[in-house]
Amino acid sequence: MDKALYQKVDRWMEAHKQQLVEDVMRLVRIRSISRYNTGAGPFGQGCLDVLAEMLKIGEEHGFHTRNYENYLGSLWLDEAANKQSIGFWGHLDVVPEGEDWDFAPYNPVCKDGWLIGRGVQDNKGPTIATMYVIQCLKEIGVELKHSLRMFVGCDEEHGMQDMAYYTKNYPCPDMSIIADTDFPVCYGEKGIIEAHLKADTPVSRAIRSFTGGVASNMVPDRATMVLDKSLVPMAKLQNLGEGITVTEKDDSISILAVGTSRHAAFPKGGINAIHRLSTALAACGALPSGDVALLQFLNLVNEDFAGTGLEIAYEDEVSGALTCVGSTISCEGGILSLGINIRYPITADSAKMQQAMADVCKKHGYTFVLDRDSGPSYFPKEHPAVARLTDLYNEFTGQETTPYVMGGGTYARKLPNAFAYGMEGMPSGEKPAFIRPGHGGAHGPDEAQNIDSLLTAMKLFCMAILEIDDLDLTAGL
């Protein structure tokens, strides 16, 4: 690593630290949850607003900008037709805020060196940070062999229809790097299946409603069942267990289960509130046998995060174990419908998994309904960029890490010649006491980003661009 150049980068970044924080907060104040068919652009008013704000911020920093029909945008400083191009991709949409926040999700705060608000980690903070990286290299006088362009999408958390639109209508960079994961290089991503398991028969009149979860890609931290008071013995609903609250009303009984949210790609440590509630109610003796049977299948599906109950548990050496989360529940017209989110290994056979799940559902009085199957992605591990960027991170941090495959889904799966590299995962020390245990994660309450950690990642990113600037980006691909 060029130490003298790094010192220039360090000084520039430190001088722009406060402005960085202010720019991130401008984006976080916008509730940009992607929603289809709202009449306000392809992804709703929040995404229209946040894209406009991001492009405005870029123009304030001297960038040229382009809006691709409100699906996504791009920002650049200098480009030359005779140069290979590197694209850097971030997203401006966020997952729903959920509940149990100690801080207001869209009124970001900066406290003791931490930014708190929905999107500070995933992915508004890193998106702004990447723009600053490009600006830094320009302003300290670095001449690059490749052109750099920043792309900002609006539907990463929902369905990546922004990528489908862009890749159909516009040319892709020669190489793409996605700053939406942990360091070092993530060269592969598991496949993603989203589906619904729908009961073939309705629940009894004893169950008025069953709701839970706010997004497919989150372990649900809230689930509620409302029962008809005249049809359910209240005495059976005492002592349902930890995390469950029973509220008696005039003609109904509301039962709330509280769990712990996690990203569905990394569910370890999460507590599924749907499972907590269905398990308790199936065992308490208050419901008719038909309802109990329907709930017991939900218990089977959610008994672990490995897909055991659906007979799809699988792992490989390349990408590790499959994960499966029952993330949402509804009961429209008395029909229970459990939404599931599966991250399957690169070598898994998706068609066989879907058939296995359909067979299991049929045995238990449910029907398997596929919503989406996004196949796995793989960037050649042997490409010199992988080794160089991993070695740089290890030199930078003193760690001994290796390139990896993950369960999370980034834009890399929708782009040619693409992989993910940071900006998350930079060591940041212990979370402060004002961020409760179980809080502070990317898809959880009180999402938090250590500012110095983000700044350090930006400095590394500058050096990473220089590390691969001499490569022929498409050689061997």
Q: 477 pLDDT band (50/70/90 cuts)?
A: low
Q: Is the pLDDT of residue 356 over 80?
A: yes
Q: 438 pLDDT band (50/70/90 cuts)?
A: confident
Coil, helix or strand at residue 328: strand
301 close to 195: Cβ distance less than 8 angstroms:
no
Nearest to 215 by CA among 33, 59, 80, 378: 33
445 close to 100: Cβ distance less than 8 angstroms:
yes
| Distance between CA atoms of residues 313 and 216, nearest Å | 19
* pLDDT for the residue numbered 443: 87
Burial 381-394 (b: 16+ CB within 10 A, else e): bebebbebbbebbe
Annotate 191-234 with DSSP letters as a single string. Answer: EEEEEEEEESSPPPTTEEEEEE-S-TTB---EEEEEEEGGGS-G
* pLDDT for the residue numbered 425: 74
* pLDDT for the residue numbered 291: 98
* pLDDT for the residue numbered 397: 92
What is the mean predicted confidence (pLDDT) over 239-245?
94
* pLDDT for the residue numbered 258: 96
Q: Which residue has the tokens 């449910």?
A: 366
* pLDDT for the residue numbered 476: 61
Q: Is the pLDDT of residue 427 over 80?
A: no
What is the mean predicted confidence (pLDDT) over 320-341?
97
Q: Rounded to the nearest 5 degrees, what angle is found at the Cα of 368, between the Cα atoms of 362 and 372?
A: 165
H/E element holding 324? strand 323-332
Pick the CATH number of 3-190+377-468 from 3.50.50.60, 3.40.800.10, 3.40.630.10, 3.20.20.70: 3.40.630.10
Structure tokens at 1: 């690593």
**For helices 273-283 and 289-301, angle between their N-to-C axes, nearest 10 degrees:** 150
Do 3-190+377-468 and 192-374 have matching folds? Answer: no
| Distance between CA atoms of residues 165 and 172, nearest Å | 12
* pLDDT for the residue numbered 400: 95
Q: Considering the entire predicted model, what is its pTM?
A: 0.83
Give the pairing type, strands 423-424 and 181-182: parallel
Give the pairing type, strands 418-421 and 175-178: parallel
Is CATH 3.60.70.12 what the domain over 192-374 is classified as, yes or no? no
Domains of the chain, residue spans: 3-190+377-468, 192-374
30 close to 49: Cβ distance less than 8 angstroms:
yes
Annotate 406-442 with DSSP letters as a single string. Answer: ES---GGGGSSSEEEE-EE-----SPPTTS-TT-SST
- Indicate the Cα dihedral angle 154, 157, 159, 164, nearest 10°: 40
* pLDDT for the residue numbered 11: 98
Q: Is the pLDDT of residue 395 over 80?
A: yes
What is the mean predicted confidence (pLDDT) over 76-83?
84
pLDDT in tens, 108-136: 999 999 999 999 999 999 999 999 999 99
Phi, then psi, of 238 in degrees rounded to 5: -85, 145
Coil, helix or strand at residue 373: strand
Give the pairing type, strands 147-153 and 85-91: parallel
- Report the mean per-residue pLDDT for the chain: 95
Most confident of 60-74, 78-92, 257-271: 60-74
Beta-carbon contacts of 235 under 8 Å, excluding residues fewer than 6 positions away, are none
Q: Region of 128 please: left (phi>0), alpha (psi -120 to 50) or beta.
A: alpha
